[in-house]
Structure formats: structure tokens, C-alpha cells
Amino acid sequence: MRRFIILMVLFLSIFCLTGCRKDKEKVLAENMKKIHLTGNLVTYQAYYHNVLEYDKKAGSGITHLFEEDRKLFAEYTGTIKFGINLSKVKIKTSGREVNVFIPKATVIGSPNVDKDDFIEENFIESREGINKNPITADDSAAAFDKAQAEMMENASKDEELLSKAQERAKVIIEENIKQFSGLNQKDYSVNWEYEQ
């Protein structure tokens, strides 16, 4: 009789543990499906203070006689956002493991360069010919466009900031998983895969 009771207790314990384990896996899998990942997640906004070099070519025609090519320099400021496309994040569960794929961070939207930095007074000029080859509104607009393009190019190549933005995305998603999991952190593990 005593042996029978011990066997019953053991059987029930094993049965309960297996049941609990399966329940936790099910809970985790179901809760992970509740995480909705759409749109862009901005994780870094960088501020830049830059120097622009702009070549102003001499004009053609009688009014531009004796003009010389000039080099113009201007300081400008702007901000640019980095982040990830949430729809590219993949969250999959396997037992009590959560496998997460984080896409590479990219520049989100266009750079926001301050147009007021390109007024005539802000340009530092190289030299003037007999005919001045003055800075016009078109030059200001072209310099602004160049600054926008330059900032975009530099930011897209800035591996340090891109990696920081990706890491911050991980922190946010990790917290999301923690909140939605419905389990104690000890009951599951998260594996991270980063797009290089």
C-alpha cells in the first residue's frame, strides 16, 4: 500500500510538471503572437553641425565677363532620425525559447537641415574677380540641397550610429517581449539575431 502511494505521488508529480511545462510553452507562443510590429521605430535622432563646401561657377554671357569660379563655405545644422522597420522584425518561439531577428537600422525619413543657415551672410567666400560673381538665391537653394544630400549620405554610412540605433531597437523589443510573455523571466530565454 505504501509503495502504491509513493508511486502515485511520483506519477502525479511527473504528470503535473509535464502539464505545467506544456502550458508555459503554449502561453509563451500565444502571447508572442499578440505583439504587433508595424511601422518604423525611431531609436536615434542625431544632431549635426557641419561645414559645406560649394563650388560657384562663373556665369556665361556679357554680364558675367571676368567672373571667376568661387569656393563657398557655410556652417549648417540639422537633425536626422535612425531606426528600424518593425515589419521586418521576426519573433518566433520554439519551446521556451524566443528567437528574435532585428533588421539593420536605416535612416528614417529625410534629413532636417535648417534652411536659414544658407543665407548670403553665412557664406565664407574664397576670392572675388573683377566682376563679383555674387551669391544668389539659386546658390542658397543649391547649397541647401547639397547639404541635405551630404547629410543623408554621411548618416547612411555612419556604422556607429546605425549600430547604436539597432541596439536601442533591441532594448525596446526586449521590454515588449517581457511585458507580453506572461511568464517569469526565468521560464524562457531570448536569442537575438542581428542583420549585419
Considering only residues 2, 3, 47, 60, which one is a binding residue for another protein as defined by CB under 8 A? 47
Helix (H), strand (E), coil (C) string for 81-122: EEEEEHHHCEEEEECCEEEEEECCCEEEEEEEECHHHHCHHH
The smaller minimum CB distance to another protein, of residues 17 and 74, is found at 74
Asked whether the beta carbons of 45 and 80 are under 8 A apart, the reply is: yes
Provide the minimum distance between the beta carbon of 25 and another protein in the complex, in angstroms, as a whole number.
20
Piece of 13-21, 55-63, 98-106, 116-124 that binds another protein (CB under 8 A)? 116-124
The smaller minimum CB distance to another protein, of residues 16 and 175, is found at 175
Kindly state whether residue 77 participates in binding another protein, applying the rule CB under 8 A.
Answer: yes
Piece of 3-11, 50-58, 87-95, 138-146 that binds another protein (CB under 8 A)? 50-58
Provide the minimum distance between the beta carbon of 97 and another protein in the complex, in angstroms, as a whole number.
20
Considering only residues 121, 157, 159, 184, which one is a binding residue for another protein as defined by CB under 8 A? 121
Helix (H) or strand (E) holding 3: helix 2-33
107: which 3 cell numbers? 535612416
**DSSP codes joined into one string, 119-135:** SGGG-EE----SS----
Size of the site for another protein (CB under 8 A): 38
Q: How many CB atoms lie within 10 A of CB 43?
A: 20
170: which 3 cell numbers? 533591441
Asked whether the beta carbons of 50 and 79 are under 8 A apart, the reply is: no
Piece of 11-19, 88-96, 97-105, 173-181 that binds another protein (CB under 8 A)? 173-181
Binding site for another protein (CB under 8 A): 41-51, 53, 71, 73, 75, 77, 79, 81, 83, 114, 121-128, 164, 167-168, 171-173, 175-176, 179-180
